């Protein structure tokens, strides 16, 4: 697939959707874990993201899955920022 054949419109739409779903999931789960114990929330986020990152990063060269990779990366970052903003 050449640069001119890249489906940017569809790909960016998928990335934004995946980012939104990922961010919401992280915020909801982390805020729930913060009620139990803050260190538990941090530890589980680090383990989950650290464990999934190598697998997800290996998908970035696949034509369709690369949009999921960029969306999930942005969603994790946005989810952590939103959680920090909401927890204070």
0.75 surpassed by pTM: yes
Model confidence at 6, pLDDT cuts 50, 70, 90, reads confident
Residue 64 has a pLDDT of 87
Close Cβ partners of 77 (under 8 Å, ≥ 6 residues apart):
none
Model confidence at 2, pLDDT cuts 50, 70, 90, reads low
Question: φ and ψ at 62, to 5 degrees?
Answer: -80, 135
Is 1 a residue whose pLDDT tops 60? no
The closest of 67, 72, 59, 61 to 25, measured between CA atoms, is 72
Domain boundaries, the chain: 11-87
Residue 15 has a pLDDT of 97
Give, as one character, the DSSP assignment of residue 64.
T
Model confidence at 87, pLDDT cuts 50, 70, 90, reads confident
């Amino acid at each position: 697939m050449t640069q001119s054949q890249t489906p940017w419109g569809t790909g960016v739409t998928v990335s934004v959707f995946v980012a939104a779903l990922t961010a919401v999931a992280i915020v909801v789960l982390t805020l729930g874990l913060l009620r139990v114990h803050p260190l538990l929330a941090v530890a589980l986020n680090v383990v989950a993201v650290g464990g999934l990152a190598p697998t997800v990063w290996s998908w970035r060269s696949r034509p369709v899955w690369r949009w999921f990779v960029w969306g999930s990366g942005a969603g994790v970052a946005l989810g952590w920022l939103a959680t920090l903003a909401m927890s204070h």
